[in-house]
Every structure is written in C-alpha cells, then in structure tokens.
C-alpha cells in the first residue's frame, strides 16, 4: 500500500539515509587484516621517514631534497638551508652532529640524548629508541671532519656497531671520500648524487639516471642538483670546472633506501 | 610479526573500525575491490601517522579525512580511465523491492563528482553535522551546503531516470 508520495521527493534525511544504510549494511566484506596493514605501513615509513643525523651540509642536502627528517645541527656554522621542492630547513638542534650520531649508534641506551630540528616549520624531537619504534631508518652522515680516515677507506670504515642495526645507515659526505674522482658505489637500491655548480660533467655506468629535483638545492650558497640512479654497483666520474676529475661533490649512502649526498668540500 | 604497544593499539583500532570504513569506502567508490584497496591504503597511512591520530581529539575524524582525501586523489588518477554516462547502456530490470534501491543507488552515487559524493555519504549515511563534514573535506560549511544541494538535485534526477518515481510503502 502506498500513500502516493514519491520516495525521492521525501525528506532526503529519510529516503537517502535509509537507502544508503540498507545498501551499505549489505556490503559484508571484512576488510584488511591488521598485520597486513602494519606491514604496508612499515614499508611506507621506511620509504618516507628517514632521519639524517650527524649532518653537515651534505646531510642537510639529503634531508631537504629527499624530504627526510633532519636531526641534529650542521657542523658550524649553523645555517638556514634554502631548498627547491621540499620547503626549508633551519637547523635548531642543541646536540652536535657528532653527539647525535653517537646517540643513534648507541641505540636505545642513548635515549636521554634528544635531537631536535625543524623541517618545514615543524619541530621534531626524537630519541633513538623512539625513532626505532616508529620504524624510521637513520642515515648518519660522515663528513671529512667526523670520519676522518674512514672517508678515505670507503664503506669498510663503517663502525662495527652498525652491524645488526638495520635502521642505521651511513652517508659518506665530504670531498675526501671521492677525492680520486672515481668510485665504485656498492649501493643496493640506488644513489642520489648532488653536483655542485663547479661540476661540469658527470658520467655513470648506471643504465638509468634521472634528475629528481626541479630546481637546484642551495646549501651554503652553493647550488646543487640532485640525481637519482637506481643501480647496484655503479661508478661515476665527475669533472670540475678546472677540467680535472674531482674533488667530486658526489657521495653515496651505503646500501639503504637509495640516497646519497654530497657536501661542500671539507 | 613482532609486536609493540603501538602496534597492539593499532590492531585494536583496525579490528574495531575496519567494518565501518569498508562500508563507507564502498559508498564512496561504488566498487567492492576499490573499497578494499581504499581502506587498506587509508589504514596504512593511518599507521604511519598513528601517534598523531591517537593523540588527536577525534581519531575517527582523522582517519575519515585520510579516507576521503585518499579516495579523491585516487579518483583523480584513475578518472581518465573511467567513463561515466548518463544512462547505462543496458539498464537491468529492477530486482529490488519498491523502495530498496541497490545498484541503481550506487550508479547514481558514482555519477556525482567525488566531493559531492563524499558529502552525501558523510551527511546521510554517517549523519555528520555540516561543520564536521566541512572539516573532513577541508572546506567551508557554505561549500558543504552547496555540494549537498547540487548532489540531491542530481541524485533525484538520476533516480527518476534509472528507476522512475518510486512510491513509498506506507507502513502499518
């Protein structure tokens, strides 16, 4: 029996709400399993939330360009970093780069060491164990001053404390690391190479290399351009404006999610 | 999978809310498979931001916003493959009881622009006030009202075209 009213002409709160509820209630799929979601979430975290500690100018360039979380302050002088596509970073940490790196290497035992920094106007305060619990992966930037001889001996110089800590990776920065101009890069996933404006050419054995920034990253007044190369074991040569190979502004991040960085020489 | 307090909290949340999210995603997408993908992606994003979600005043509202934004961005990516027509090429004979629209309702919903569709679902299925809808969509209350008005007008037209005027069964 009907009262002559058309369903669609009734109060939409009634007819539409009822219709939607009936239809939605008949949809009885369970939805994703929590552990599947967590697994995907962790993959996303590892892709997107990579901390950079012990950062000099190279670490800052990595953090800014790749949209990473920056932790720690640059070795002096502290400077604002202007960037291309990902906003700006002004380092405001209280811990020194070396202390931050040490804290992360020491893992949860160094909880009391909190590093702070700002990225995109948001302040981050992070302890090593918190970051680990979040599934973050840390890149510890070694520059000439902090790693010294290690820079010149390549990836074998990574501290033994890295072993068993997959959330810690190392960035080699500084001119010394690639002072010979040619290096084989033992990266598993890829490398980002930043070139200073003084570099006039670069060649790589990698079959693919694409530019990833639309405009140069500016660090300490020097312009860098970021490239990414998905490769495994590539070598690159850079040539400076003086026509000589190196000291190159290319550095690599060892065997992690695909990032490398350079710093200004020294 | 190893466990920690954060994951345990998140598991509880997923188990408690995934059914509602699935139904909402189904109404938003009109497709079971897309609904599953949308919920999976939404919850994965939620996991990434879990500390913020958990500490927000309304975690459900936070997740709802992720769901809607994800659907809108996904829709934009796939719309070049999706061709909407005013009428189905071969309309199926109605098999539902008089006032129980099934596929017709979903078809009518899918004919709406995604933000209008979201407004309809949030207002008439979730029963949210306009202010909360505006927050979820990141727009003003006035925009919500205009979306609602346009959506209802189009829905009425679509439903008339698809199934004709439907008489209301008088209860009792």
- Encode pLDDT of B64-75 as tens digits: 999 998 888 776
Q: Are residues B125 and A24, on separate chains, in Cβ contact within 8 Å?
A: yes
Is the ipTM higher than 0.90? The answer is no
CB pairs under 8 A between A and B: 136
Q: Is the pLDDT of residue A28 over 60?
A: yes
The percent helix, strand, coil of chain B (3-state, each to 5) is: 70, 0, 25
d(Cα A50, Cα A135) in Å, to the nearest integer? Answer: 9
pLDDT digits over B103-141, tens only? 777 788 888 888 999 999 999 888 899 999 998 888 899
Neighbours of A232 (CB within 10 A): 13
- The rounded mean pLDDT for chain A is 41
Q: Model's pTM, two decimal places?
A: 0.48
Structural contact between residues A177 and A151, judged by C-beta atoms closer than 8 angstroms: yes
Whether B154 has its CB under 8 Å from any CB of chain A: the answer is no
Residues in a beta bridge with A50: A137
Task: Of A28-37, A151-160, B12-21, give the range with the top mean pLDDT.
Answer: B12-21
User: Which chain A residues are closer than 8 Å to B50 by Cβ?
Assistant: 41
Neighbours of B12 (CB within 10 A): 11
Q: Are residues A19 and B27, on separate chains, in Cβ contact within 8 Å?
A: no
Q: Which of residues 130-149 of A touch B (CB under 8 A)?
A: 133-134
By Cβ distance, the residue of B4, B35, B44 closest to A41 is B44
Q: Are residues A32 and B40, on separate chains, in Cβ contact within 8 Å?
A: yes
By Cβ distance, the residue of B21, B26, B105 closest to A19 is B105
Q: Is the pLDDT of residue B10 over 60?
A: yes
pLDDT digits over B20-47, tens only? 999 999 999 888 888 999 999 999 989 8
d(Cα B119, Cα B130) in Å, to the nearest integer? Answer: 9
User: Which chain B residues are closer than 8 Å to A20 by Cβ?
Assistant: 27, 105, 120-121, 124-125
The percent helix, strand, coil of chain A (3-state, each to 5) is: 30, 30, 40
């Amino acid at each position: 029996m009907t009262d002559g009213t058309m369903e669609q002409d009734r109060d939409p709160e009634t007819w539409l709400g009822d219709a939607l509820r009936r239809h939605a209630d008949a949809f009885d799929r369970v939805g994703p399993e929590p552990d599947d979601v967590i697994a995907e979430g962790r993959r996303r975290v590892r892709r997107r939330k990579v901390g950079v500690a012990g950062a000099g100018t190279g670490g800052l360039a990595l953090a800014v360009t790749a949209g990473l979380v920056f932790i720690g302050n640059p070795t002096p002088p502290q400077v604002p970093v202007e960037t291309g596509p990902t906003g700006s970073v002004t380092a405001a940490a209280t811990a020194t780069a070396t202390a931050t790196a040490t804290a992360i290497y020491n893992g949860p035992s160094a909880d009391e060491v909190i590093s702070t920094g700002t990225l995109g106007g948001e302040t981050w305060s992070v302890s090593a164990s918190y970051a680990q619990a979040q599934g973050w992966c840390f890149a510890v930037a070694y520059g000439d001053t902090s790693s010294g001889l290690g820079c010149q001996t390549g990836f074998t110089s990574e501290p033994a404390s890295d072993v068993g800590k997959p959330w810690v990776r190392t960035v080699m920065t500084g001119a010394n690391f690639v002072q010979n101009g040619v290096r084989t890069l033992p990266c598993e996933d890829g490398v980002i190479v930043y070139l200073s404006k003084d570099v006039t050419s670069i060649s790589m054995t990698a079959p693919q290399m694409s530019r990833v920034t639309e405009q140069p990253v500016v660090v300490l007044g020097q312009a860098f351009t970021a490239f990414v190369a998905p490769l495994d074991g590539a070598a690159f040569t850079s040539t400076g404006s003086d026509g000589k190979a190196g000291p190159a502004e290319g550095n690599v991040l060892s065997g992690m999610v695909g990032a490398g960085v350079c710093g200004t020489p020294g | 999978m190893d466990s920690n307090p954060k994951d345990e909290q998140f598991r509880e949340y997923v188990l408690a809310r995934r059914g509602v999210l699935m139904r909402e995603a189904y109404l938003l997408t009109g497709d079971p498979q897309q609904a599953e993908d949308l919920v999976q992606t939404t919850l994965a994003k939620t996991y990434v931001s879990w500390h913020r979600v958990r500490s927000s005043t309304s975690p459900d509202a936070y997740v709802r916003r992720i769901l809607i934004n994800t659907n809108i961005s996904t829709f934009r990516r796939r719309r070049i493959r999706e061709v909407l027509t005013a009428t189905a090429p071969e309309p199926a004979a109605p098999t539902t009881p008089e006032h129980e629209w099934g596929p017709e309702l979903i078809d009518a919903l899918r004919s709406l622009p995604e933000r209008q569709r979201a407004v309809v679902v949030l207002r008439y299925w979730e029963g949210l006030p306009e202010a909360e809808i505006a927050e979820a969509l990141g727009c003003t209350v006035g925009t919500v009202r205009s979306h609602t008005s346009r959506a209802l007008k189009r829905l009425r037209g679509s439903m008339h075209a698809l199934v004709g005027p439907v008489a209301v069964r008088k209860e009792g």
